[in-house]
Structure 1
Amino acid sequence: MNFKRSGAVLGAVAIGAMALTACGSDNNSASNTTTVNSAASNASCEGKSTLSAAGSSAQKNAMDAFASTYIAVCTDKGKDVKVAYNPSGSGDGRTQFIAKQIDFAGSDSAIKGDQAAAAKERCAGNDAWNLPLVFGPVAIAYNLDGVEDLTLNGETLAKIFSGGITKWNDPAIAALNSGVSLPDEPIVPIVRSDSSGTTDNFQQYLTTASGGAWTKGAGSDFVGGVGEGAKGSAGVSQAVAGAPGSITYVEKSFADQNKLAKAQIDTGAGPVALTEETAGKAISGATFKNEGTGDLSLDLNSIFGTSEPGAYPLVLATYEIVCSKGYDADTSAAVKSFLTSAAGEGQADLAAQGYVPLPATVQDKLTASIAAIG
């Protein structure tokens, strides 16, 4: 049966998760009215009725959409299910997963090192898998009067965010923007003042794509040494909106909300604008560190370092961290069912909320890994 998610269904999600989502930082959720064909869903809706998860706030709106879709599908199949997701941050999600306080975690980076070893113990001696379910493009958003089409590259961005380029009419920027009148004005970088997966991914991008111009390293805290700080994605985007001459890195949805101009990125094959299609092209070319194992940890260099024509390279991936085996039967069935729905019909609404739906190349691998969860 085809139907639209009703207000009652969306209300159930909101009420069931109200206490949890109150601690989330940014909210850019869109209305959700996509028609769901529950008969075509591969979700079994079996297993325990309530799933719990926590972690990345970057994927919070995607998880809300996934939960809404899953509830709608399972309700139509005569099953009463709930999904509670707490956007408490990637680090907290991984910690709660290891402590068996939640069924799976959302994380802006793959679990590794000592945490991976601890997760293996939590999973009864089995590996935890990193499953990239949500991709969000990161915009280079700026406020520069009279300049609607700006092109930058990894090297110029690295120098802007480390203090090596301080004026908008710097020769390195001018060389990328032939015919554009660039003002002789200071550049005001706006950066995240709080720890952020977006910051970590941006700095990893600079490390990969700047040709050695970025030497600061990466991490969840901004290490460039310049700029004015603002808290959260909403904070940096609002700061740029109110500060002529400023520039930031922020999820596309927040740039759109604040009507900010977005720079094109030249990866060496010509300027590429940020769109669903160009970001999807970069994701399609992604490779995985542990091919053939079920774990889908991404080789981020394959995205950040792409020179594929028409591919936008600055994309944040968020993972669901799950036990490959070691769940009890009811939890295993529920985790597999929810993730099957999220990787399938759940992708339909993501573009409207600023995310990039999974390309087929990634979706096929993800679906196979989900099916292999024991």
Structure 2
Amino acid sequence: MGASSAPTADIDCATGNINAAGSSAQKNAVEEWIKIYASQCAGANLNYNPTGSGAGIQAFNEGQVAFAGSDSALDDEEKTAAKQRCQGGNALNLPMVVGPVAVVYNVPGADDLKLSPETIANIFSGKVKNWNDPAIAKENEGANLPSSPIKPIYRADESGTTDNFTDYLNTVAPDIWTWEADKKWPNSTGQGANKSDGVTTQVKNTEGAISYVEMSYAENNKLQTAHVKNGAGEYTELSPESASKAVAGAKVVGTGNDVELEIDYATKEAGAYPIVLVTYEIACEKGLPEEQAKFVKSFLTYTSSADGQKILTEAGYAPIPQAVLTKVQASVKALS
């Protein structure tokens, strides 16, 4: 993966030992950043535990970690708990990585399947049960589709990837997918697996499986990925470029230095891949102990820099679009 040669970057180093936890979707990006940061900053040690977004936010609010990674912004209840954790300061949602959500499957001989939002919603709600179902066949003329059953795999633990995927389905196919967005998988269709690694392994080992996982896991494990129909009616291949196009139209809904984004899953942007998540770093605007605050500010200054964002494409992600990144950099500068 990308930064094995540890490219140099212009880093204003901090020292000390800090812990962070959360999103497993951003794990591969954070590991690259840590490798580069540590190679240039003697005496800096950051441990990132990819426990999942829900567990990461909980650990942050309980004061166990200096910052958290999350694939969804803090909700109202989490914001209230974070205010106490940050000694009265606000916790900021800082978008750092675009992690496109791949619809991955294991059907030998059926590469590059095209799937509409309605078909995906029908599969994951248990209404489309076999790979040669007319709904799939209609979108994939000439494809070699077996009559075998579809085996959906979902995240068993609380997950920001699940939150984004269920939000996508409820937004674009609300008549079929009637469940609201949630970090916890809302129905009993299919089988659960823990964390992104667990989902990936299960799809690899289960012929007929289908699931949703962040793009870097799909790429690193060479899984088949579907072309997904966007709001413009195009079946779009997953790539860093097509994912960035979807996020470029996102709306900043956070106030002050909070950069919470609202993604348009029904984007009509030409060439945009519609199922994207933005993975945030959740950090105290102020209120951390001085050494921790310096380290968090230094590390996030690097990750939000041009050098930090550069490594994302090679690591299986997409960089934050420049218009959003400029706001993130200003917010990181305001950390104290």
Please give the TM-score of this superposition, normalised by the length of structure 2: 0.89
Distance 1:112 1:194 in 2: 18
Partner of 1:190: 153
Preserved contact between residue 98 and residue 243 of structure 2 (Cα < 8 Å): no
SS at match of 1:352: coil
State the Cα distance separating 1:265 from its structure 2 match. Answer: 0.4
Please, what is the CA RMSD of the aligned residues? 2.3
Matched, 1:357 2:319: yes
Measure how far apart 1:369 and its partner are.
0.9
Does 1:32 pair with 2:3? Answer: yes
Give the corresponding residue for 1:256.
219
Is it true that 1:368 corresponds to 2:330 in the alignment? yes
Q: For residues 53 and 181 of structure 1, do their structure 2 counterparts lie closer, same or farther at Cα, with a shift above 3 Å needed? A: closer
The partner residue of 2:77 within 114, 134, 139 is 114
Which residue of structure 1 lines up, in the alignment, with residue 104 of structure 2? Answer: 141
Q: Which residue is equivalent to 2:238?
A: 274
- CA distance in 2 between counterparts of 1:91 and 1:231 reads 13
SS of residue matched to 1:247: strand
Residues 240-251 of structure 1 mapped to structure 2, 5 A cutoff: 240-251=203-214
Determine whether 1:212 maps to 2:183: no
Q: How far 1:202 moved relative to its partner?
A: 1.3
- Would the aligned equivalents of 2:54 and 2:183 in 1 still touch at CA under 8 Å? no
Counterpart for residue 12 of structure 2? 44
Deviations 1:291-348 (A, max 9, x none): 5x11011213x2x232212111212322111111233544433221110111122223
Q: Deviations over 1:247-287 (max 9, x none)?
A: 21122233234432211001132110001111121122221
Alpha-carbon distance in 1 for matches of 2:289, 2:316? 35
Corresponding position of 2:129: 166
Structure 2: distance between partners of 1:319 and 1:335: 14
Tell me, yes or no, if the aligned pair for 1:34 and 1:348 is still in contact at 8 Å: no
Identity in percent: 45
Of 279, 282, 306, the match for 1:318: 279
**How far apart, CA to CA, are the structure 1 residues paired with 2:24 and 2:110?**
32
Match of 1:12 in 2: none
Q: In structure 2, do the counterparts of structure 1 residues 200 and 33 end up closer, same or farther at CA, with 3 Å as the change threshold?
A: same
Q: Are 1:106 and 1:318, in contact at CA under 8 Å, matched by a contact in 2?
A: yes
Distance (Å, rounded) in 1 between the aligned partners of 2:199 and 2:134: 27
Specify every segment of 5 or more residues in structure 2 that has no aligned partner in the other structure, as ranges.
none
Partner of 1:105: 68
1:368–1:216 CA distance, 2 compared to 1 (3 A) = same
Distance 1:310 1:74, change over 3 A: same
Q: Which whole-Å CA distance do the structure 2 matches of 1:254 and 1:246 have between them?
A: 16
One-letter amino acid of the counterpart of residue 252, structure 2: F
Cα contact 1:143–1:241 (8 A) shared by 2: yes
- Tell me, in whole angstroms, the C-alpha distance in 2 between the residues paired with 1:186 and 1:52: 43
Q: 1:61 aligns with which of 28, 53, 62?
A: 28
Matching residue within 230, 247, 269 for 2:193: 230
Q: Give 2:7's aligned amino acid.
A: V
Distance in 1 (CA, whole Å) between partners of 2:55 and 2:203 is 29
- C-alpha change, 1:273 and 1:297, in structure 2 (3 Å) is same
Preserved CA contact (<8 Å) 2:6 2:36:
no
Task: State the match for 2:270 in structure 1.
Answer: 309
- Asked if the contact 1:154–1:211 (Cα under 8 Å) also holds between the matched residues in 2, the reply is no
Number of the residue aligned with 1:20: none
130-139 or 182-191, which deviates more: 182-191
Give the C-alpha shift of residue 31 in structure 1: 6.4
Q: Aligned pair in 2 of structure 1 residues 191, 102: CA closer, same or farther (>3 Å)?
A: closer
Kindly provide the amino acid, as one letter, of the partner of residue 122 in structure 1. Answer: R
Deviations 1:102-157 (A, max 9, x none): 32222222222222112112223221111111222221112223322211121110
Which deviates more, 261-270 or 92-101?
92-101
Paired residue secondary structure (1:50): strand
**Structure 1 length-normalised TM:** 0.81
Task: List gaps (5 residues or longer) in structure 1.
Answer: 1-29
Show the counterpart of 1:72: 39
Runs of 4+ in 1 over 4 A off after TM superposition: none
In 2, Cα distance between equivalents of 1:91 and 1:167? 33
Q: Is the 8 A contact 1:53 1:103 kept in 2?
A: yes
Q: How many residue pairs get matched?
A: 334
Larger radius of gyration: 1
- From 336, 341, 347, give the equivalent of 2:297: 336
Q: 1:313 to 1:251 in 2, by over 3 A?
A: same
What's 1:8 paired with?
A: none
Matches of 1:252 and 1:219, distance apart in 2: 20
Q: Output the CA distance in 2 between the equivalents of 1:184 and 1:276.
A: 33
Residue 287 of structure 1: aligned partner? 251
| Cα deviation code 1:32-52 (max 9, x no counterpart) | 3345344xx2x4225x53333
Distance change (3 Å), C-alpha of 1:118 and 1:333: same
